[in-house]
Amino acid sequence: MGITKRLNFDTETEAIGKICKALGHPARIQIMTLLWKRDNRTCGEIVELFPLAQSTMSKHLLELKKASLVDVKYEGKKTIYSITVDNIEVLKKYISNYLSTIEISEEDKSTVLTTRHKMKGRKRHLKQYNYQFPHKNIKERTA
């Protein structure tokens, strides 16, 4: 039998890890955006705004709750969700500190943000955006 290693991180690092994992799905990011625009939405209101099944939305909301990104209140049969601002502040502080240590030249910023490769063929929708890698030649195939 193998031995599983468990690394012990400080509580802030653990919290940021949970938050980032919960925000690792586009639907959850969109849910957070909806709640940021207008707090205290019911599960039904959130489900109406997405083309996903109610059960799927409930699973996404549960993941956000596990990461302590949303608060849940129960009023009768209604479940009301709102953003937990404290944990968003922890993430904001972490990202701000991280970004302040990185220096990207203006030339590199424009390259990363605006690079697009024109591709032909059936799979052209797969690579709308890409980073430039000067040492690699990107060959386009004609269809």
Task: For the domain covering 11-90, report its CATH number.
Answer: 1.10.10.10
Is residue 65 within 8 A of residue 87, CB to CB? The reply is no
Can you tell me the distance from the alpha carbon of 66 to that of 60, in angstroms, rounded to the nearest whole number?
10
**Taking the model in full, what pTM does it have?**
0.62
Collect the ranges in the chain with pLDDT lower than 50.
112-113, 115, 117, 125-131, 140-143
Phi, psi of 57 (to 5 degrees): -65, -40
The residue extents of the domains of the chain are: 11-90, 104-143
* Alpha-helical runs (H) found in the chain: 11-22, 26-37, 43-48, 54-66, 85-100, 106-114
